[in-house]
Chain A
C-alpha cells in the first residue's frame, strides 16, 4: 500500500520547518551555553568553559531576583486566571442575549497585542493623568496619587493585572468547552434531591472538571513563564529590577550586555523549566486520552 510511505511524505514539509527553525537553534544555543562569548568584543564564539555559565547563574543576584519575581508572577497570575475563568464559564454556560454578548466581547482582550496592552495600562495607571489611577483616587480618596508603576509591589500587581486581563477570556472558553462535556443528568438529579447550587458545584461539577482545569492551569503556567512583552512596554522591568521576568532577563543579558554564552545558559534554564512543565502536561493528555477510550 502506497499509504505507507505517503503518511511520512505528508509530514516532510512540516518537519523540515520544525527542524530548521526550532531544533537547530535549540542545539546551537545549547552549545553556546558552554562557551565564552562576549559579542561586543568577539566576532566568533571563544573556548568552551564547561558549566561556568550555569554556575555563574547561581551566584548572580540579578538572576535569583528575576527567578523569584517570575515565581510570584506565575503563581498569582495562574491562580487568578483559573478561578476567574472557571467562575465566568459557569455563568456563561446559560444562554441569553447578555451571555452571548459577553462571549463575543471576551474575544477582544485576547486578540489584543500584548505589547499594546502594556502600553495602554501604563497610560491608564499614570498617577497624574491615567484614567484608572485618577478614577480610583476620586472614588477612594486614600488611593489618590499612588505612584502605581513606581512602587515595586504595585508595579508587579499591575503587570499581573494585564496578564490576567489578556488570558482570562481564552481560559474561559476552554472551561466552557470542558463544561459542555459534563453531563447534565447528574446535576439535574442532585437538584431534584434538593442539593444547593454550591453543593452541586463542589460535589458534581468540579470533580468532573478537574481534567480540564489542570490543562488550563498548566497551559497558563507555560504562557506565564514566557512573560515578556508587557514587561518591556509596561514597566521596562522597573522600578529597579522589581518586575524583571526570566525571559526579560535573558533578553537583557543577550541583547543589552551581549554576553551570548551566559544568555544561552539562562535561556536553557528557562527551557528546562518549561520542558518539565510541558512533559507533565503531555503525560496528562495521554492519560486522559486513555481514560476516554477505555
Chain B
C-alpha cells in the first residue's frame, strides 16, 4: 500500500513531537541534576557540569543513602511476599473451574479499586497502637495489600496463555498437581512472573501516599525524601533533580528490561 510523501512526513513530525514531549521533562531533570545551584535558576544550556549535587544528597543533612536503602528493602520485601502467593492464586484461577471462581476472582480484583487513602486510615491507627509507625514493616504490609491483587491479575493473564497440553501429559504419567506446577508451569510462566515482579517493584518503589503518612524519619522512602528539599530557603531544585535521577535510573532500567513483556502483559491482563 502506497502512502503519500506528505502523510508520511506528517507522521514523522508527529512522532518526533511525541518523543520530545515524553522525554523533555526527564531530560531537563537530568540536566539540572548536573548544574551548580546558580545555573539551576537559568534555562541556558551553556553550563559547567558538576557532580557536586550527588555528593551533597548523600551527605548530611540529606543522607539520601538511608532513604535509598529503605526504598530498596521495602520494594524488595513486598515483591518477595506478594509474588509467590499471587502466583499460586493465579494458577488456581486460571486452571480450575470452581463454582465460586468468578465471584472470588472479581472480589480480589475489585479490592484493587479501593482508594489507598481509605486503607491507610485504619492502618495508621493500628500501627500507632502497635508502635509500628515509621518502620519498614508497616510500609511492606500496606504495599503488599495494594500489589497482590494486581499481580494475581497479571500472572493469571500469562498462565492463561500457556497451553494445557504438556501439563495434561505429565498428569497422565502420574505426576501430582503440585509437581506439575513446580516443574512445568512455573518454568513456562517464569518470564511472566518476572515481569509481574518487576512491575510490582516499580509500583512499590514509586509509592508515595503510604510512605508520606506512615513514616517520619527512619523509614522514609525516596519519593517522600524528595519533599525535604523544599526548605525555608526555597526549593533546592538542583538537589531535587539529583534525587530525581537517583529515583528514576533504576526504575527506567527495569522498565526497559521488561519492555516487550510489559506492554503485552498489561494489555492481556486488562482487556481479557
Contacts and interface: CB of A to CB of B under 8 A. Distances in A.
Contacts of A119: 226, 240, 244
Nearest to A197: B7
Given A112-B251, A113-B251, A229 B122 contact: no
Contacts of B52: none
Contact of B266 (A101, A170, A260): A170
A253 to B, nearest CB: 10
Interface in B1-41: 1, 11-12, 14-16, 18-19, 21-23, 25-26, 28-29, 32, 40-41
Contacts of B130: none
Contact of A25 (B22, B123, B152, B263): B123
A105 B223 contact: no
Contacts of A260: 121, 125
B22 A263 contact: no
Nearest to B148: A17
A21 interface: yes
Contacts of A174: 266-267, 270-271
Contact of B110 (A7, A115, A282): A282
Contacts, number: 274
A267 B88 contact: no
B270 to A, nearest CB: 6
The dominant DSSP class at the B interface is helix
Interface stretch (B53-61, B89-97, B187-195): B89-97
B108 A18 contact: yes
A13 B88 contact: yes
A75 B96 CA distance: 40
Contacts of B92: 7-8, 10-11
The dominant DSSP class at the A interface is helix
A113 to B, nearest CB: 4
A107 B259 contact: yes
A61 interface: no
A176 B237 CA distance: 37
Contacts of A271: 114-115, 118
A229 B26 CA distance: 18
A50 B262 CA distance: 47
Interface of B: 1, 11-12, 14-16, 18-19, 21-23, 25-26, 28-29, 32, 40-43, 81-82, 84-86, 88-89, 91-93, 95-96, 98, 102, 104, 106, 108-111, 113-119, 121-126, 141-142, 144-145, 148-149, 152, 176-178, 202, 205-206, 208-209, 212-213, 222-224, 226-227, 235, 237, 240-241, 244, 247-248, 251-252, 254-256, 259, 262-264, 266-268, 270-272
8 contacts: A102-B19, A107-B252, A111-B254, A123-B237, A174-B271, A212-B271, A267-B115, A286-B102
Question: Which 7 residue pairs spanning A and B have beta carbons closest together?
Answer: A177-B267, A21-B145, A14-B89, A13-B85, A113-B206, A10-B92, A7-B96
